[in-house]
Amino acid sequence: MTRVLPPMMETGFSDSYLHLRDKYRNGISTAPPAQNVSDRFSGPGEPEKTLNEKIIKMLWYESRFDRRHWGTIGGDRISIHSPGEWNTGEGPDFQGAQLTLGDEPVQGDIEIDVHARDWKAHRHDRNPRYNKVVLHVYLFPSSSAFLTRAADGRQIPSASLLGRLPQPWNALEHSFDVENYPYDSRCGKGSCGKAVSIRNYETVETLLNLAGDGRILLKTGRMDDPSDYTRFCEGLGYAKNKKAMARLAELLPLPTLMSLARPFKGEERKEMIETLLFGVAGLLLEPRPTDDMETHACLARRQALWDRVRGALTPMGREDWNFKGVRPTNYPHRRLAGLALLLDGWAEDYLSKGTLWQNDSSVILEPSGFVVPPAGYFARRATWNSTRFPHDVALIGPDRSQALWVNVYLPALLREIRRRRDAKAEERLHGMYRKLRLREPAGVSRLMAHRLLGSEKTRRVALNEERQQQGLLQLFQDFCDTKPWVCDHCAFPKIVGLSLPEIIRGG
């Protein structure tokens, strides 16, 4: 991408975006936009076949159904002010919707299903993530009386779309780019996107870069608590095991781990570090006669080491870890094995100088510095005694290594660099950040990019840099995530409309 900032601005991390954000964000209104009911439907109809659930979500998102006189099964009239934000992660399908049910304004999440009974079939009634759902929307009602209830026992209003979707049915699936939705949706472009034109693409690119800098500065300010080690462990846990990894770091702090590993040398120290991690994680098994030879030998060695130290430690349980929906190559066992190898490599510096990577600005690690190649028992396994993979798989790959570099290492090192007032080190670090290519696109950043710049197929800005993604994530957090139902009243379009010099100097 063409460099758009003056050279003097590229010598370190700029806080210009943070000044812009603080100046304009106070202008966000909380008043919901007026309802806009469409009359473009010719009449009710019956589906000839069950629609894909994603199609129904698309129709909800774009309000492509007849809302005239629509109500809940309890008889309350439904007015939609905002359908909410499309959720690309776990939990309800849409978050932050703004509705009026009867005479009561409500704000919360929306769950979309094909059948009313899917609420229980998908076990949403037992999942606390769905406790903020304010409306359960489905196509087919239940043949018997069915009440949607949350895990906390609250009854959730529900409504059917049967007879309200556009016809002909067989044309619905062909009217969307299902595979790339919602990133190519026709409605996702927000008020900020309407302020973008080819004339100010350079300004938008600059704004994204500055927001990317601002995000790192904000992370730097939050790095004191919890510890860098805890944040590193969290980063290895991905979304599904982030809390479990943080709990492991709490139960087995780095000073304790290194102190217990100090008496050991070479391969035995490596095994002890892995034993401590697996033991406290509750993922170390007793060897069994049915184990294959490799597994039995590996577990026997680690169990003998664990018996020497377990009395002083409090272990977790296997139930604390999430395996559902996790790729076997990303299972906690493999992440812990990778972490053990990293810690063994850092042990000499930590034991002799009490420092880790974030304390030394003279040598800056590359974004690939946390890659752990295939090694040991878990090079081809996901868990103890599991079937071997067809080939070796890295314990920590380049995508996760770069994510750890950006989210943990970079802000931690920048904090130390600024404490020492080392301008040259910050310039080197910032230069590495600017050159990072995007490896692991985040769903939220793709949504924000679509909102700001439109469809991936037609936009003229190539979003292929990590710094840009960080900027998109920060923009979403600052202006969309906080009040997702007030896009028409957002202050961010005012920032988009500023001149390039105004953006560079922070307003």
Where do the domains of the chain lie?
Answer: 53-165, 228-405
C-alpha 111 chain-centroid distance: 19
The pTM assigned to this predicted structure is 0.72
> CA–CA separation, 31 vs 134, rounded Å?
19
Q: Residue 159 gets which letter from DSSP? A: E
Give the contacts of 381 (CB within 8 A, at least 6 positions apart): 333, 334, 387, 388, 389
Strands 158-160 and 133-140: parallel
- Give the residue among 497, 284, 464, 260 at the shortest CA–CA distance from 384: 284
Give the HSE-up count for residue 134: Cα atoms under 13 Å, Cβ half-sphere. 22
Closest C-alpha to 32, from 498, 502, 499, 490: 490
How far apart CA 386 and CA 473 sit, in angstroms, is 37
Determine contact, residues 273/343, Cβ cutoff 8 Å.
Answer: yes
3 state DSSP class of 360: coil
Task: Report cis status (omega within 30 of 0) of the bond before 226.
Answer: yes
Using CA atoms, how far apart are residues 3 and 206, in angstroms rounded to an integer?
9
d(CA 483, CA 25): 11
List the beta bridge partners of residue 80.
99
Q: What is the four-CA torsion angle of 382, 384, 387, 390, rounded to 10 degrees?
A: 50
Burial of 44 per CB tally in 10 Å (0-12, 13-18, 19+):
exposed
CA distance 479 to 280: 41
Taking the CA atoms of residue 13, residue 14, residue 18 and residue 24 in that order, the dihedral angle to the nearest 10 degrees is: -160
CA distance 56 to 40: 18
Length reported for the chain: 507
d(CA 7, CA 390): 50
Dihedral sign computed on CA atoms, order 188, 191, 192, 195 = positive
Q: Give pLDDT tens digits along the chain (507 positions).
A: 333 333 334 578 999 999 998 888 765 443 333 333 232 333 344 443 456 788 888 889 888 888 888 999 989 999 998 888 888 778 999 998 999 999 899 999 999 998 999 999 999 999 999 999 999 999 888 866 678 999 999 999 999 998 888 765 555 655 666 656 766 555 556 677 777 776 678 888 999 999 999 999 998 876 554 578 898 999 998 778 999 999 999 999 999 999 999 999 899 999 999 999 999 999 999 989 889 999 999 999 999 999 999 988 999 999 999 998 899 999 999 999 999 999 998 887 776 666 666 556 667 889 999 999 999 999 999 999 999 999 999 999 999 999 999 999 999 889 888 988 999 999 999 999 999 999 877 777 887 887 788 776 667 677 889 999 999 999 988 887 554 455 667 788 888 888 888 898 887
Q: What is the DSSP letter of 32?
A: P
CB 469 within 8 A of CB 442: yes
Pairing of strands 133-140, 104-115: parallel
Other beta carbons within 10 Å of 387: 10
**Helix/strand/coil for 439:** coil
Q: Supply the pLDDT for residue 43.
A: 38
44 phi/psi in degrees, rounded to 5: -75, 165
The confidence score (pLDDT) of residue 212 equals: 96
The three-state secondary structure class of 101 is strand
Cα(95)–Cα(139) distance, rounded to whole angstroms?
20
What distances in angstroms separate CA 231 from CA 60, 199, 407, one per listed residue?
37, 41, 9
The contacts of residue 312 (CB under 8 Å, 6+ apart) are none
Q: Which residues pair with 244 in a beta bridge?
A: none
